[in-house]
Amino acid sequence: MNLLHLADGFRNRFKAEPRVFRAPGRVNLIGEHTDYNDGFVMPAAIHFATYVAVNERDDASVSVYSHTLREAFEFDLTRPGRFGGWRDYVAGTAYALQERGVKLAGANLYIDSDVPLGAGVSSSAALEVATAHALLSVAGANVDPLLIALACQRAENEYVGVRSGIMDQFVSCFGQQNHALMIDCRTLDYEALPLPPGVVLVVCNTMVKHELTGGEYNERRADCEEGSRLLGVAALRDVTLDDLRERGGTLPERVYRRCRHVVTENARVELAADAVRKHDCSRFGELMYESHRSLREDYEVTCDELDLMVDLAREVRGVYGARMTGGGFGGCTINLLAVDAVERFQRSVSDGYRARTGIQPMLYVTGAHDGAGEIVLAG
């Protein structure tokens, strides 16, 4: 991101000096579809981020421009409502903060981002969290980052209308350089786990997004809710694999498989955390492949392109593990590999994917980065 262009864009539009806040996108290393089951996830914040330049206004309006989309709108802090599309991520964040008792002030926001939109690396959370930081700064409010994450999640749930878990906003707030975060989505406790030296993360974008019937995400959630109801627990987090083997016989077959994914995936996150602590990349990688298999066979949220991307990665020397990441049905895979395998990996996976699908994939080499904060402009 060119911060000088961002600041100039702001000055031209709003005739004032801005402060600039940044919030990163994320990639989930392991623990997929576990967050809304009160389970464990292990994301890292990535280097792609959304930037919001901001200054204060003397009324209760927020004037917003997204340079990414070349669109503007304005909303009134005293009149919560819905605006449609990307606007609700921004306005919803303001309203959700106010609902949690934060007093906001009018502001001008100039937004730009290098997080790919809709690719599964959470440009939405990056937008919400960067917006929250910008609005809080002009309001002079000092707010617990956990409250920020929860308000941003609420914006997405209540104003945008997506029933997402807390992971994306949480890691965008709390991410740490060179660390993955293992988050307990029930208690919101987390542990920062240092990534082993000499490894990189590569996100591979399949460039496809299958819409299917649209309600797939909510259907998976409904299956999980039915499973936990039939098993008599508050959430699938409370079920062990032994419980499931003993008592799962009464579940409808599909619900059983959905539950088996969640239960085994939670166990894999804990095993993966052990592997990271021991710097055992091979073990971590095996768990990633296992996760992908479970998402394909039991949770049924992969697609041919994701499966192909993982198979191509597996053939490259120096790759420890690969799996789909994000909601599924397209989007991205996450790959853990040795630094010296990066070039080989990029060539072989790009060529292989293009040859088989006719689509040029996007590969992003990244590491783990810090969560949201202010950027001090030089000069």
Binding positions for ligand ADP, rule: CB under 6 A: 50, 66, 68-69, 85-86, 89, 111, 113, 117-124, 127
Length of the chain: 379
Distance CA 319, CA 63 (A): 46
Report the SS3 class of residue 246: helix
Residue 141 contact partner, candidates Mg ion, ligand ADP, none, CB within 5 to 8 A by sort of partner: none
The angle at the Cα of 191, spanning 190 to 196, to the nearest 5 degrees, equals 145
Comparison of 122 and 335: residue with beta carbon closer to Mg ion:
122
CA 180 to chain centre: 13
| 172 closest CA partner among 99, 121, 112, 108 | 121
User: Which residues, in sequence order, are bridge partners of residue 323?
Assistant: 334
161 is in the binding site of which of Mg ion, ligand ADP, none (Cβ under 5 to 8 A by kind)?
A: none
Residue 307 designated active-site: no
- Residue 269 phi/psi, 5-degree rounding, is -65, -40
**Cα gap 39→31, rounded to integer Å:** 8
C-alpha 291/C-alpha 209 separation (Å) is 20
Pick the stretch among 107-115, 120-128, 329-337, 369-377 that binds Mg ion (CB under 5 A). Answer: 120-128
Beta-strand runs (E) in 245-304? none
Instruction: Please state the closest distance from residue 92 (CB atom) to Mg ion, in A.
Output: 13
Using CB positions, name the residue nearest to ligand ADP: 86
Nearer of residues 135 and 276 to ligand ADP, judged by Cβ:
135
Partner whose footprint covers residue 371, from ligand ADP, Mg ion, none (CB < 5 to 8 Å by kind): none
Q: How far is the CB of 247 from Mg ion (least distance, A)?
A: 35
Q: Provide, rounded to whole angstroms, the least separation between the CB of residue 141 and Mg ion.
A: 25
The residue among 72 and 230 lying less far from ligand ADP, judged by its C-beta, is 72
Least CB distance to ligand ADP at residue 314 (A)? 25
Q: Which amino acid is at 156?
A: E
Which residue, 346, 363, 349, is CA-closest to 205?
Answer: 363
| Local structure of 222: helix, strand or coil | helix
CA 96 vs. chain centroid, Å, equals: 19
Task: Please report, as residue ranges, which positions from 124 to 163 form the binding site for Mg ion (by CB under 5 A).
Answer: 124
327 vs 367 by CB, closer to ligand ADP: 327
The region of 44-52, 123-131, 212-220, 289-297 touching Mg ion under the rule CB under 5 A is: 123-131
Residue 71's nearest CA partner among 86, 55, 88, 49 is 86
- Compare residues 92 and 120 and give the one whose CB is closer to ligand ADP: 120
The option from Mg ion, ligand ADP, none interacting with 18 (CB < 5 to 8 A, set by class) reads: none
Q: C-beta of 366: minimal distance to ligand ADP in Å?
A: 15
Q: Which does 113 bind (CB under 5 to 8 A by kind): ligand ADP, Mg ion, none?
A: ligand ADP
State the nearest-atom distance from the C-beta of 64 to ligand ADP, in Å.
9
> What CA–CA distance (Å, rounded) separates 332 from 319?
16
Tokens representing 302 are 């992969």
The item of ligand ADP, Mg ion, none sharing an interface with residue 118, based on CB under 5 to 8 Å by kind, is ligand ADP
Q: Which is nearer to ligand ADP, 148 or 155 (CB)?
A: 155
Q: Is-contact 324 295, C-beta < 8 A? A: yes
Q: What is the smallest separation between the CB atom of 234 and ligand ADP, expressed in angstroms?
A: 27
Among residues 168, 184, 242, 351, which one is catalytic? 168
198 or 215: whose CB is closer to ligand ADP?
Answer: 215
69 in helix, strand or coil? coil
Closest CA to 300 of 328, 320, 323, 319: 328
Rounded Cα distance between 20 and 313, Å, is 38
Choose from Mg ion, ligand ADP, none: what does 51 bind? Cβ within 5-8 Å by kind: none
Which residues participate in catalysis according to the annotation?
168
Contact positions vs Mg ion (CB under 5 A): 122, 124
